[in-house]
Structure 1
Amino acid sequence: MTWTSTMSSGYSSLEEDSEEYFFTARTSFFKKPQVKPKPDEEVEKEREPQKVLTKEEIQQKIESYNSNATDKLKMTLNSDGVYTGFIKVQMDLRRPITIRSMITHGGHLYNNNNETAFYMPKGTTNTLHISSTNTVKEVIEALLKKFMVADNPAKFALFQQSHSGKQVHMSKLLNSEQPLCLRLLAGPGADALTFVLREHETGEVLWEAFSLPELQNFLRILAKEEEDQFQHLKRRYREYRAKLEEALRATGKPG
């Protein structure tokens, strides 16, 4: 599998290594819930079993797919019946991820055992070159490895998203499913199918699933937010006290 990351839906050449950009999770660990605009309502779509195609059907669909692809991301059928192609994955991560710091020595990258918490910038999209045998589990693991994410891959899930009128249909893929097969069946259109990487939504945060460095990073973020909130409250009360004292002086009464 080969990988390319972009900060938008644009395509970057797979022949060159692109840079990934991250922003530190400053005062945003506990984010306010985002209200999604209506009528683009997100609904859970009932899953259908993945269709199994014959080699002849695969060849016909690939020819049709390539003739309709407008972004030059075409598929290739090999003699053994396995085919290769491209999928795009949107990174829709709501919580901070832990990134391993790397150092360069002698032209090679090495892990220096330092880890930092980051928020993945919104709009980050990855273009992946995979085969029809690659599973959802392999795609998730490779994505995290590409971004040097130290988090457990089990924390993440790959979703398929499609549009129908003003509704957005979402469904979580099984680890054993093959994204390129789904891409071929849906065709090249983004409305027909988009892949989205998200955290597993469990309602409660399962702190025991995080490693010790991750928990320490979260504590540092929390301490920073606590200090910022404390300083903000102190400024508010100072301003309020100053206005009260000014009002008292205006009335000629002692403070």
Structure 2
Amino acid sequence: MTWGSTASDSFRSQEESGSELEVYFTAYTSFFRKVRGSDEQIDSGKQELSVGEIQQKVKEYNAQINSNLYMMVNKDGFYTGFIKVHFQLARPISLPPPQSLYSTREEEQQGRRMKRRTSFYLPKDTAKHLHISSQTRVREVIEALLNKFTVVDNPAKFALFERAERQSQVYMRKLSDDECPLYLRLCAGPSEKALSLVLKENETGDVNWDAFSFPELCNFLRILQREEEEHVRQIVKRYTLAREKMKQAMARITTPG
């Protein structure tokens, strides 16, 4: 599925009612996921290409595609083309609230209006084509995707990965901010199995808490407290049940048959 101008029609949405807690609570278990040990890095094998090599690769690339998403190259080796980014986000993205028609001038002047945001869970098969140049870097790609759809989340919360399939194995590599995705696309060719680009949460085992706002951090603390209290209740319940069963077994042993 490709995003269009009516992308919100494809989302499951919910609008916050006075607090961001419930939205983030629905996905809190994803905040602390570790990167799977099975995710192995891809050897990017990056090397500089001459102008002639770039022109030849662009020619070979265009000969392999079955759409009009061609790459265009200049005599100086500068080229443009399309990349397709797949979205694999476990947490909701946030859009700005609609302008309220009922807020009073006094509330606006005093800055007391409640800040509300609309959050969406993206479908797993969401993807977007983006037209970029050979000089467009990873961080610019992420920012362009977020700006295009007015996502208000901090771009530092997201990372771009390259994914490859080799001999029934899937390999993932997190791209650094200064890498150029179109160069990777050109070198790998148009095959999605050889290389596909995936936008995911920026998780490396440790969460970058500095990327979150103060209200979000407060909500996370509440979430942790809820999770801790629930965990304690489950442990107490389990041990209480085990204790009762032991007492019942002891009573049957000591009671004459």
Q: Please indicate, yes or no, whether the TM-score normalized by the shorter chain is above 0.5.
A: yes
Aligned residues of 1:25 and 1:117 also touching (Cα < 8 A): no
How far 1:75 moved relative to its partner? 2.1
How far 1:215 moved relative to its partner? 1.0
1:17 maps to 7
1:68 maps to 64
TM-score (norm 2): 0.65
Moved over 6 A (4+): 78-81
C-alpha distance in structure 1 between counterparts of 2:35 and 2:204, whole Å: 15
Equivalent residues in 2 for 1:1-255 (5 A)? 11-12=1-2, 14=4, 16-17=6-7, 19-21=10-12, 24-27=26-29, 29-31=31-33, 34=36, 36=38, 42-45=40-43, 47-51=45-49, 53=51, 58=55, 61-62=57-58, 64-70=60-66, 72=67, 74-75=69-70, 77=72, 83-91=80-88, 99-100=94-95, 102-103=97-98, 113-114=115-116, 123-132=124-133, 133-145=135-147, 146=149, 148-151=151-154, 153-165=155-167, 168-199=170-201, 204-252=206-254
TM-score (norm 1): 0.65
How far 1:189 moved relative to its partner? 0.5
Aligned residues of 1:89 and 1:125 also touching (Cα < 8 A): yes
Secondary structure class of the residue paired with 1:114:
coil
Output the amino acid matched with 1:213: P
Output the amino acid matched with 1:245: K
C-alpha distance in structure 2 between counterparts of 1:224 and 1:116, whole Å: 23
C-alpha distance in structure 2 between counterparts of 1:191 and 1:247, whole Å: 60
Extract unaligned runs of 5+ from structure 2: 14-22, 102-112
* Distance change (3 Å), C-alpha of 1:62 and 1:167: same
C-alpha distance in structure 1 between counterparts of 2:116 and 2:235, whole Å: 34
C-alpha distance in structure 2 between counterparts of 1:26 and 1:105, whole Å: 29
Output the amino acid matched with 2:195: L
Secondary structure class of the residue paired with 1:88:
strand
* Distance change (3 Å), C-alpha of 1:105 and 1:51: farther
Secondary structure class of the residue paired with 2:136:
coil
Output the amino acid matched with 1:197: L
Aligned residues of 1:98 and 1:214 also touching (Cα < 8 A): no
Structure number with bigger Rg = 2
Task: Return 220-229 or 96-105, whichever deviates more.
Answer: 96-105
Secondary structure class of the residue paired with 1:49:
coil
Task: Return 214-223 or 133-142, whichever deviates more.
Answer: 133-142
2:20 maps to none
Aligned residues of 1:73 and 1:85 also touching (Cα < 8 A): no
How far 1:229 moved relative to its partner? 0.8
1:189-225 Cα shifts (integer Å, max 9, x gaps): 1122111334556554443443212211211221221
Extract unaligned runs of 5+ from structure 1: 1-10
How far 1:43 moved relative to its partner? 3.4
More helix by share: 2
C-alpha distance in structure 1 between counterparts of 2:34 and 2:138, whole Å: 30
Kindly report the root-mean-square deviation, in angstroms, between the aligned alpha carbons of the 2 structures. Answer: 4.1
How far 1:57 moved relative to its partner? 5.3
How far 1:243 moved relative to its partner? 1.2
> How many residues were matched structurally?
228
C-alpha distance in structure 2 between counterparts of 1:243 and 1:181, whole Å: 65
Aligned residues of 2:161 and 2:175 also touching (Cα < 8 A): yes
How far 1:29 moved relative to its partner? 4.5
Aligned residues of 2:163 and 2:173 also touching (Cα < 8 A): yes
C-alpha distance in structure 2 between counterparts of 1:201 and 1:27, whole Å: 13
Output the amino acid matched with 1:85: F
Task: Return 173-182 or 230-239, whichever deviates more.
Answer: 173-182
